[in-house]
Amino acid sequence: MSGSEAVRDRRRGMLLGLAVGDALGAAVEFSLPGHFQPVTDYRGGGPHGLGPGEWTDDTSMALALADSIAGVGWDLNDQARRYVDWWQNGAYSVTGACFDIGNQTRRSLAAFRQVGEVARVRDSDHRSAGNGSIMRLAPVPIAFGSLYPAEIALLAERGEESSITTHPAPVCRSACRYLTVVLAGLAAGEPRETVLSADWPVLTQLGAVDHDLAPVVQGSFRTRTPPEIRGSGYVVASLEAALWAFSGAASFSEAVLRAVNLGDDADTTGAVCGQLAGAYWGESGIPAHWRTGLQKRDWIEKALAGLGVELGCSGDGKLQ
């Protein structure tokens, strides 16, 4: 494929990879590592009683974010309103009802409903450092990937701002800055070893990295192994686990299966790793039966089309 087609393939792979990883992990969410039959394919069941190929809040919120960007551009209040619509009315949910909403997400959205403006929210817990903003991130580097590499600061700022709607803690915002730029670099065709290097020159343009996140950016995921690596709901551990799964894999499928088989917050570890693996191996690197087996695939295609990377489009996938 041509260079522009390869970029589009990798940008599409980000969102599709997110949903695939989410769906693979859904059946073993909250399960202790080593206490379940290893995941090798979609399966039904799990804490939410989902069917094979059905996904959770990670994909629902990503679809809401994509819908907002496509519909109105960059507007944090609109993003928050769409998240509220998911929470209150089941919009963007594969089952038609909200389930698996995180405590911090619920608190922030409840506060937003009271004041109607993200900038005026004061009563959410700024110390809460869950992984709810990195799990849904893909629409940001898809939509604004053309800012890489000329406008890294603005690209990182978009990632950080996307966290504020529900996860304003400094470490969550820092994680989104970092992951947005990593995903954009991978989608642009940068080598995996370059993007994940602690010496990647682009990192100097990110500004100060949160103290708690710094070991991950410096490569802790290369030197640690399970059980030190944990797929927990803490944003630092979650990102570290996804990077561990991705960096040591030879294929998309190996990466996401390494991630979800860590158990615990398996759907989100899978979703974060799926974004990384999708941005690197592209849609074409995702096994076909996982792509076709995704439930509500048309919703994901609609979101991708809104972000300018519809199936079969030409060009580089930039928003017009």
Give the CATH H-level superfamily of domain 3-306.
ADP-ribosylation/Crystallin J1 (1.10.4080.10)
Question: Given this model, what pLDDT does residue 311 score?
Answer: 80
Question: What does pLDDT average to in each consecutive run of 10 residues of the chain (320 residues)?
Answer: 94 98 98 96 97 98 98 98 98 97 95 95 72 98 98 98 96 98 98 98 95 98 97 98 98 98 98 99 98 98 96 44
Question: Given this model, what pLDDT does residue 127 score?
Answer: 60
- Per-residue tokens: 4: 């522009």
Residue closest to 253 by CA, chosen among 57, 42, 27, 62: 42
Other C-beta atoms closer than 10 Å to the C-beta of 217 total: 22
Question: Given this model, what pLDDT does residue 128 score?
Answer: 81
Specify the DSSP element, H or E, that contains 196: none
Residue tagged 């995180």 (tokens):
102
Is the omega angle on the peptide bond into residue 287 within 30 degrees of 0, that is, cis? Answer: no
Question: Given this model, what pLDDT does residue 125 score?
Answer: 58
Question: Given this model, what pLDDT does residue 122 score?
Answer: 75
Burial status of residue 305 (CB atoms within 10 A of its CB: 0-12, 13-18, 19 or more): middle
Break the chain into its structural domains and give their ranges.
3-306
Separation CA 220–CA 236 (nearest Å): 11
- Per-residue tokens: 153: 């600061």
Instruction: Assess contact for 225 and 248: CB atoms under 8 A.
Output: no
- Per-residue tokens: 316: 């580089």
- Per-residue tokens: 285: 């690197």
In this structure, what is the dihedral angle of CA atoms 212, 138, 77, 117, given to the nearest 10 degrees? Answer: -10
Residue closest to 135 by CA, chosen among 95, 100, 88: 100
Separation CA 202–CA 29 (nearest Å): 34
Residue closest to 140 by CA, chosen among 264, 298, 303: 303
Question: Given this model, what pLDDT does residue 1 score?
Answer: 87
Separation CA 66–CA 319 (nearest Å): 12
Q: How far apart are the first and last CA of the chain?
A: 23
Question: Given this model, what pLDDT does residue 316 score?
Answer: 37
